[in-house]
Amino acid sequence: SSSGSGAAVGARMAPAALGTDTGASVRLPAALNGAVGFRPSVGRYDGTGITPISHTRDTPGPIANSMEDIVLLDAVLTGEAEPLPPLPAAGLRLGVHDYFWKGLDPQVRAVMDAALARLRAAGVQLVELDMPGLEASNAAVGMPVCLYEQKTDLADYLARHHAGVDVEQVVAQISSPDVKAIFEGLIMPGVLPTPSGELLPLQPLYERAMAVHRGELIEVYRRAFQEHALDGLLFPTSPVLPMAAEPDASSLENFSRLARNVDPGSNAGLPGLSVPAGLSAGGLPVGLEIDGLPGEDRKILAIGLALEAVLGRLPGPPR
């Protein structure tokens, strides 16, 4: 949803942009365009006036071409004038969990291997770890929360701003076939399909997700950070390279592949920062994400500054 912002910043048409990130839409556009993208902890930035998808997951977030600009924009958006304390790369403990590193495109893997080697050489400690319950808790939260909250949040937004239309009228005018199919097939009737094709009612799944599973997901992260004394969790922002702009590029299947790694942090409300890791053999940008615990935004920004000092910034595209 912030793909235009990511492209404009990556192409050097604008120095920075403000996007929105419900599940991926600041970090992915930044990563695929060679920029830096920051998703703060939910609630760090005021989202007043932004068309909602899910109040549990929605947040504005900045995109820029350097960590310095991201830190500046964060200070403007929060009003926090105190400078970030410097955090050297040497001694940082960053977790590496297999879930985020499996099934990588070979070119993504090559860029990641080179980036990790540079981080190790700079003294970063890469800590391999397990995170029991991550996948199950994340699956129980993601779609039920996003689909269920979309209908009620959008209805409240339209009424609050006296838009003169209701949700049904908005859905009828959606021009994107894939988005319209999600609204008409899942959001409006309030159902979620199982792998076998059975349609389950959303409301009980949503209530269970909020009462039980989201807390479990956050606890998975807290336990991992505590047990391994982590400063952050490190992984490829996307396991695949940017796709060609063809009709099926925006299919749900392709989006799920692109967003696989950023989804758990979105559901847990974590701060997540994507920085450029390098270029593929074909010259396409590859992003590296650092996630932290809720509320540790400034620490994640400081880590981003440290990693950028090691990995460098990407040049603008050839003209």
- Going through 157-293 in order, the beta strands assigned E by DSSP cover 191-193, 199-201, 232-236, 272-279, 285-291
- Domains, the chain, in order of start with CATH, read 3-130+215-311 (3.90.1300.10)
Residue 248's pLDDT is what?
75
Give the model confidence (pLDDT) of 218-240 as tens digits.
Answer: 999 999 999 999 999 999 999 99
Strand partners, 5: none
DSSP-assigned letter for residue 15 = S
Give the model confidence (pLDDT) of 268-298 as tens digits.
Answer: 999 999 999 999 999 999 999 999 999 999 9
- Looking at this protein, which amino acid is placed at residue 15? P
DSSP-assigned letter for residue 289 = E
Give the model confidence (pLDDT) of 112-121 as tens digits.
Answer: 999 999 999 9
Neighbouring CB atoms inside 10 A of 97's CB total 18
Q: Which of these, 70, 7, 9, lies nearest to 38 by C-alpha position?
A: 70
